[in-house]
Amino acid sequence: MPGEFSPGALLEVLLRHGVRFVVIGGMAALAHGSPFPTEDVDITPDAGADNIDRLSAALRELDARIRVDDTDAQLPFNHDAASLAAATVWNLTTRFGDLDISLAPSGTQGYADLARDATNVPAYGLVVPFASLADIVRSKQAANRLKDQRVLPVLRQILAARFDGTRETDSPGARA
């Protein structure tokens, strides 16, 4: 564990369980035309108790474990809605690859803030809610991590091109 990275299978489990979430991070950036690959799925779920309970059920089906960076070790992950809601970030590994959960990504106020401008995009044979490119840029800028600093110039360029009318502005591409 984890198995081969299969974001479609991971997202399918979340959607089948009725989890309300927005895809953020590198995968959402890919959906908007970013050339930078990603090796995980980042989501921001609705923090409502019923939704977090559905997320907990989906995580059980995904055989989620706590990911320990820089090692192959994975810690057991016994959880319920209350324990999931008690932390703002979870870095997990599942049988379909890594999943990062952030209840309030840097520069945002969480799900409602991100869902407002999210776009439902056909990806992996599903319809998946992706954060807007402006929200991705806002969050990566606020996080100010080295890996975000590297991709921000390109993401800003893609965003500016949309406003200049030199790229399609109606919806993000379904490259994810």
Q: What is the CATH number of the domain that holds 116?
A: 3.30.460.40
Identify the domain containing residue 102 by its residue range: 7-164
pLDDT in tens, 2-26: 568 999 999 999 999 999 999 999 9
Overall domain count for the chain? 1
Quick one: average pLDDT of 153-171?
Answer: 76
172 located within any domain? no
171 located within any domain? no
| Residue 86 pLDDT class (50, 70, 90 cuts) | confident
Average pLDDT, the chain: 89
* Tokens 């979340």 belong to residue: 14
2 located within any domain? no
Can you give the pLDDT at residue 171?
Answer: 47
**Considering only CA atoms, which of 16, 25, 115 is closest in space to residue 60?**
16
Checking DSSP bridges between strand 126-130 and strand 74-75, what pairing results, if any?
unpaired
pTM score: 0.87
103: left (phi over 0), alpha (psi -120 to 50) or beta: alpha
176 located within any domain? no
Question: Which two three-digit tokens encode residue 27?
Answer: 């995968």
173 located within any domain? no
pLDDT in tens, 31-73: 999 999 999 999 999 999 999 999 999 999 999 998 887 656 6
19 located within any domain? yes
174 located within any domain? no
Instruction: Tell me how far apart the alpha carbons of residues 79 and 57 are, in angstroms, rounded to a whole number.
Output: 9
